[in-house]
Structure 1
Amino acid sequence: MNWRTPMSNSKRILAALLAGAMVLCAGCGKEEETEEESSNSTAVEVTDVTSGAMSSEYTLNGKIAAVNEVQVFPLLAGQVQTLNVSEGDTVSKGQTLFTVDTSTVTSTMSSLQQSYSATKTATDRAIESAKIGVEQAELAVSNTEALLEAGAAAEQDLTKAKQALTQAQAGVAQAEAQQSASLAQIQASMDQINKQASLGTVTAPCSGTVTAVNVDRGGMASSAQPSVVIAENGAVEVQVSVAEDVFTGIKVGDTAGVTVSAVSKEPMNGTVSTLPAAANAQTNLYDVSVSLPSGTKPPIGAFATVTFYTDRRASTISVPTESILTGNNNEQYVFTVNADGTAATRVTVTTGLVTKDSTEIVSGLKAGDRVVTKGQSYLSDGAAVHVVTSDAADGGEG
């Protein structure tokens, strides 16, 4: 049986206490060493160099306009009697837009109608009289034939009677021809008036949306300006003017980002639909049309923001533009960090495309490298660093 003396127990307790104190001291030393190391290095934020599609971006302001705008002019000038549409209305082909006073055109219609009636009455009487003459001539021929058979008339008498009948029949034909000609002349005048009067009713030449109404009820309509403007079928597009450097980089069918704040703050994908053959002579800019997704119909005249993408790269290396610094002789360089994030290396780079946030790296980096994005202005080649998140960064922006 083993007996433990009080002295041996005390020694064991003392040894345990000493061991714990040594461990604590060792931990404190390591923490002090880490803090000292951190204070001697620069805090930086980093990002991985990526590889992917890239293009130059140009954002310009444009305006919503009709794809095909149809201007409606009155064919008969005059005072507007009725106005049936207003801006924004949807109309169908053939629908009445407005009417113009036709009283000046139709003012002679009543007298022409009276003339027609009087002429018909007079010529009817002439025809009737001529027909009576025919009847009498026919009776004379019949009587002469009877007398000839009885020996009371000569053959010469019958010939004269027949000649008189022929003349009477010709008189009927002449009277009827005169009536037809006289009535036709008057009718032609009335038809012309009716045709002109019909021009007083102005109808929509196509279906679509009314984008402008330039006449008022009671006002005058003339050919000096379009009375109504219609966006055919309601189809709209974005019209935007671009400089030559942008124009040469786009083609029909290219995708363009479009934001119409009147509809939504979110951008949509439009398509370059038409390109001009030459620049606008007044502005020296190129007027480009961009079609919108099917079913999208923002109000005509609304402003739009259009982003064109040019110089497209299918696969290229890029870094945040903020990570690139410029040295002597316009040398461009970045700082990369090693695998364990403790040291920075200055790397000269050659750049290419520049977008809103990124810059293409033609040479100097490869995908997967870690580039300093914040704190780089405080670094030199080989500087000690420690990587932090944006919330814990000690260095200023590069």
Structure 2
Amino acid sequence: MKRVITIIIVVVVALGAIAYVLSNNKKKNEEKTAFIAKGGGAVAVRVATVEKKVVDMDFVANGNFAPKQELNFLSENAGRVTAINVDEGDHVSKGQVLARIDAEIINTDRETAQASYENAKRDEARYQSSYETGGVTQQQLDQAKLATRNAKLRLQASQRKVSDANIKSPINGIVNKRYIEVGAFVTAQGTQLFELVDVSKLKLKVNVNESQVASLKTGDNIAIKSTIFPDEKFSGKVTFIAPKADATLNFPIEIEVTNNTKNSLRAGMYGTAVFNFPKQAPSILIPRTSFVGSVSSNQVFVYDRAANVAKVRNVVAGRILGDNVEIVDGLKEGETVITSGQINLAEGTPVSIVK
């Protein structure tokens, strides 16, 4: 019983304390509001001086090198591998024979297609002669011509298969992986044979933010650095700028980089793109926090030193440069803008500067 009474007393005391605090806070807020309403109070704010500054547009971005051309080479014909002419790490040129497939069955198919084509041509010639003397109809002659065309197409397809028995490289590059051995059987459904990469030119993939991407265009020449080869100089050209930001609100871009004669750079290495821009003319800049609501509002509060009050000013915002915003029109160098406390301000509100 005593325990219950004790708990009740504690709860009552706690509720009384909470009520007292709330009542006291309400009284203070009312007094503060009345004091400001009479004109005797001031809202504490922070300010910044409007200045002209030279905008440094230069920046760097890090990324990874990727091969400009990368190909997983698949088989097109079924057969047994009879010869392999290259190994991993070998340089190959376009058209070079990498391996050979047993062409015995393929050659038999080609010979059969050749014989069928020759026979179809003879039949067409006989039908043509008979048609001229009235021995066959136009429809029969057309069917003979169609049979000849179909036989020719089958012959061309078989000749292509014979040619494909010699597996040739479609690009200049390096054999990065070899997936077959002599004696292995490959299928026409696409057995993986080789992985070829071309590193004579690479792509450096980096991400830039909204203020940086606005200064870029395809075709721009970019200096490239590699920490692995600090004494080597590389150059690149912007070949792709994403039209849409990714999930992190950055824009992926690609820079085509020419490798050196030794092909020192390899796919997967880190690289740094150095973006240098011409020197900019000084611009009026203010902190991004100066705007009422957001930058898109194009509205700030200016501190009137003579009257010691805040005044609303409409401005025209330009580029967003990190924590600063360029002002195209509406402010002059030397004026003072309010950077915090705007939520409590209206036209003519008295302010006090927090230093």
In the superposition, the TM-score normalised over structure 2's length comes to 0.42
- Give the greater-gyration-radius structure (CA): 1
More helix by share: 1
